[in-house]
Structures are given as C-alpha cells and as structure tokens.
Amino acid sequence: MFGSHLSIAGGMHHALIEARELTMDCVQVFTKNQRQWKVKPLEDQAIADWNEHRKRTKIRSVVSHDSYLINLASPDRALRSRSISLFTEELRRCDALGIGFLVTHPGAHMGAGEDKGLERVAKALDRIHRKLPDHDVLTCLEITAGQGSSLGFEFDHLRRIIDLVDEPQRLGVCLDTAHMLAAGYDLTSRAGCRRVLAECDEVLGLDRVRVIHLNDSKVPRGRRVDRHEHIGHGHVSLDAFAVLVNLRKFRKVPKILETAKEDAPDGRPWDAVNLETLRGLATGGDKMRKIQKTGNVS
C-alpha cells in the first residue's frame, strides 16, 4: 500500500483527488496549516466533501501528520501546554475525518536531557488521552534523525515512552527510512536492513509499526541530519527498500513518500516516479533486476 504526503490547498478533499490521479492506495495529510498554532474549526461542508471523495476515490488508508510546532518534551511549561492543546485538537480533527493514524515526532528535550524529555512526552500523552477517552485515533511515534536535542532516534526511546504511558494500546510506531539511516541504523544493504528490522521487532514489536515513511536520504548513515531524497538517489540502498516493501508483516501498512514535489527529468511528477520504483521493488521481476543492475530509477 503506497502513497505520499499531499497538499490540502483548496480543500482537504483535493489531496484525495490527487492521490487517486497518481494511482496511490493511501495518503498522508496535515488537517490544518502546520505552521500556525491557531486552528480554524473544521466546517461541516469540508467534512462532507472529504467523506464524499473518500468514498469516490476509494483511498484505502489515510494518515495525518501533526504540526511541527508541537513539542511535548519541552521543558518550557507554556510551550508544552500549548503543544498538548494543539495535539488534542489534531486528534479531534482526525476523529471527525475518519483518519485512523496521527504521526508525531516525540519532541526535543532542549537541554533537559533524554530521560526527562521522554518522561515529559509520556505525561503529556497521558493528559491528552484523558481528555479523549473514547477516541480511536492511534498516535504513531515517529523515529527521528536525532538532529539537535530531538528525541526518538533510537527504538529504545519509543519503547520507553510506550512503557511509561497509562494506555500503551493507544500508541503505534512510524518508521522513516531517511531518519533511521541518519540516526545510524544500517539501511545500506539487504542484510543490514534485516538486522535493523530484527532489532525493531525485539525492542518494539513489528506489529506496533502502523505507518512507514519511505524516503531516501541525502546524508550518509549516522550523520544525524534530516534530509530527504528521491528513492534510489540517496544513501538508502534499493535492496533495503526491497526488504521493507516485500515484508509480509508490512503488507497492509501505509507506506508514505515525503519527498520533494517537483517534476523528474522525464517530466513526470517525482511522486509518480518514486511510486513506480517502489512498486517495481515490491513485484520483483525484470523491473527490479534492471534497477539493481543500472541504478536507473527514472
């Protein structure tokens, strides 16, 4: 199940239309302007348009990503309080739209230390969950590149948050291939990827992985910098992508591209090119062998 993060400009339902035009099975969206704290209420007509196009396009799964302003790990009490309020509203919006997954970065400790930061994230999530006792939207903790004081660049960070919260069943995990490589996980070969997945299974359990971001990385392994690249044009090996897209456990997991929205040299949207590459890796055969032999994914 493959898709991409798409724009909601002109109305949220336009992301569904674009996803269908690009033959996607799933899509990721923001449910609001992610650069603003202020939240404009969802209008009834916007919800109706969304539901109508959800049925019409038959997109199988929809994921939302929360605002990058949110920092549940912040030592600043006022910022943490604003983050809790905004994240609560994001969950409400997902619930109103029938979106099952909300992806979030665990946040940054801002010098307070990893232990304190992880504790703050867990306590914040508990406060949020208590406000929404009957909501079914799953919060997916995303592994990060580890830039600055960001938390979540180790599987163990996510495990500790899950173990600390009162309702661990309300948390899932989002893997991001660019982040994982930048954080030091070996996605440079088929064997390396299998070892990483074995570690993920041991620490978190593969069943808890509910969303995957499939991004190549502009930076080499272990650089702790978040820079996405088109599939096959960065430092994540195509063999690693092949392992991920062919794993039976992940067959029904939405796999989302978060790469630049621009045209490839052949004039097609890069989303279309990247999807073709991933589907070629998933189906194997001549397409996959050609990619592995020539490195040409366009």
226 flagged as catalytic: yes
The arithmetic mean of pLDDT across residues 92-111, rounded, is 98
Q: What is the pLDDT of residues 16-27, one digit of tens each?
A: 999 999 999 999
Q: Give the residue, 284 or 254, on which the prediction is more confident.
A: 254
Q: How many structural domains compose the chain? A: 1
For the entire predicted model, the pTM comes to: 0.94
228 flagged as catalytic: yes
Query: Which residues span the domain enclosing 234?
Result: 2-34+62-294
Residue 87 lies in a domain: yes
Can you give the pLDDT at residue 290? 52
Q: For residue 263, what is the DSSP state?
A: B
Residue 8 near residue 50, CB atoms below 8 Å: no
Residue 288: band (very low, low, confident or very high) from pLDDT cuts 50, 70, 90: very low
176 flagged as catalytic: yes
Distance CA 35, CA 26 (A): 24
Residue 231 near residue 259, CB atoms below 8 Å: yes
Residue 269 lies in a domain: yes
DSSP structure string for 21-73: HTT-SEEEE-SS-TT-S--PPPPHHHHHHHHHHHHHHT--EEEEE--TT--TT
| Residue 192: count of CB within 10 angstroms of its CB | 18
Catalytic residue among 66, 176, 239, 276: 176
Residue 54 lies in a domain: no
235 flagged as catalytic: no
Residue 43 lies in a domain: no
Residue 85 sits in a domain of what CATH number?
3.20.20.150
Residue 55 lies in a domain: no
201 flagged as catalytic: no
Can you give the pLDDT at residue 286? 41
Q: What is the pLDDT of residues 232-247, one digit of tens each?
A: 999 999 999 999 999 9
